[in-house]
């Protein structure tokens, strides 16, 4: 039986004002953009890298 992938819930908790455009683009690619908005992702190295780039703007929970 295949292992179930872990899921991460990423919630934006800070505004992107005064942060570089690159970080805004990362949030947009993750489906975020407004404070309080959440999105669920499978735990992959690509997603972990995106979270690392904006770790000061988001909250991450393991589901």
What per-residue confidence (pLDDT) applies to 4?
74
CB-based contacts of 8, cutoff 8 Å, min separation 6 = 40, 41, 42, 43, 47, 51, 60, 61, 62, 63
CA dist 23 to 2, 58, 62, Å? 35, 11, 22
Measured CA to CA, the distance from residue 41 to residue 35 in angstroms comes to 18
Q: Say what the pLDDT of residue 2 is.
A: 58
Look at residue 11 in the predicted model and tell me its pLDDT.
Answer: 97
pLDDT at 41: 96
pLDDT of 1 strictly over 80:
no
Write down all domains in the chain, each with its CATH number in brackets: 7-62 (3.30.1390.20)
Tens of pLDDT, residue by residue over 17-60, are: 999 999 999 999 999 999 999 999 999 999 999 999 999 999 99
Please determine, for residue 5, whether its predicted confidence score (pLDDT) is greater than 60: yes
Residues present in the chain in total: 63
CB 41 within 8 A of CB 29: no
């Amino acid at each position: 039986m295949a292992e179930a992938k872990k899921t991460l819930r990423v919630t934006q908790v800070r505004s992107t004002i005064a942060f570089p455009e690159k970080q805004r683009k990362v949030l947009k690619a993750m489906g975020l953009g407004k404070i309080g908005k959440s999105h669920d992702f499978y735990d992959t190295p690509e997603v972990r890298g995106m979270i690392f780039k904006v770790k000061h703007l988001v909250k991450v929970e393991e589901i």
